[in-house]
């Protein structure tokens, strides 16, 4: 079955760190751009970061740049998001998603999401 499964979310204090993982299966992971998108409770969608097939290109939005790092391990079919210096505003469900071929920012496959709650 083609799927993405996120893990690693949880409750963390402001200033803390978390590492999210996304396990891919059922497709050739190394052929696709991958992305993280988040959704604050009751709010809309916000792009976080994406990474090229071989990891040679990475992009992130201004609000997380310098705090979050996207990475991947193609041998393990896994995507990661290292989140440092977390703030209350980072509270959201974090989705990993797969791009459409060369169209990195067309998201054809999404995981079920993992909730990150930043609170003291």
Overall size of the chain counted in residues: 120
Q: Which of 18, 13, 11, 7 is nearest to 84 (CA)?
A: 18
CB of 11 or CB of 106, closer to other proteins = 106
- The distance of closest approach from Cβ of residue 108 to other proteins in the complex, given in angstroms and rounded to an integer, is 5
87: tokens are: 């703030």
Q: Is 27 in the site for other proteins (CB under 8 A)?
A: no
Shortest Cβ 47–other proteins spacing (Å)? 5
Q: Is 61 in the site for other proteins (CB under 8 A)?
A: yes
CB atoms within 10 A of CB 23: 16
# of chain residues touching other proteins (CB under 8 A): 19
Which sign, positive or negative, has the C-alpha torsion 28, 21, 53, 76? negative
Residues in 69-98 at the binding interface with other proteins, rule: CB under 8 A = 95
Is 40 one of the binding residues for other proteins (CB under 8 A)? no
User: Phi and psi of 109, rounded to 5°?
Assistant: -140, 130
Task: Please report, as ranges, the residues that interact with other proteins according to CB under 8 A.
Answer: 44-47, 59, 61-62, 95, 100, 103-108, 110-113
């Amino acid at each position: 079955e083609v799927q993405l499964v996120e893990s690693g979310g949880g409750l963390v204090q402001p200033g803390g760190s978390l590492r999210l993982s996304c396990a891919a299966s059922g497709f050739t992971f190394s052929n696709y751009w991958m992305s993280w998108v988040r959704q604050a409770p009751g709010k809309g969608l916000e792009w976080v970061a994406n990474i090229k097939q071989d990891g040679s290109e990475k992009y992130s939005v201004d609000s997380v740049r310098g705090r979050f790092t996207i990475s991947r391990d193609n041998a393990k079919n896994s995507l990661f998001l290292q989140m440092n210096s977390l703030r209350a505003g980072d509270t959201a469900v974090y989705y990993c998603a797969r791009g459409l071929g060369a169209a990195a920012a067309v998201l054809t496959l999404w995981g079920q999401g993992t909730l990150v709650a930043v609170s003291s």
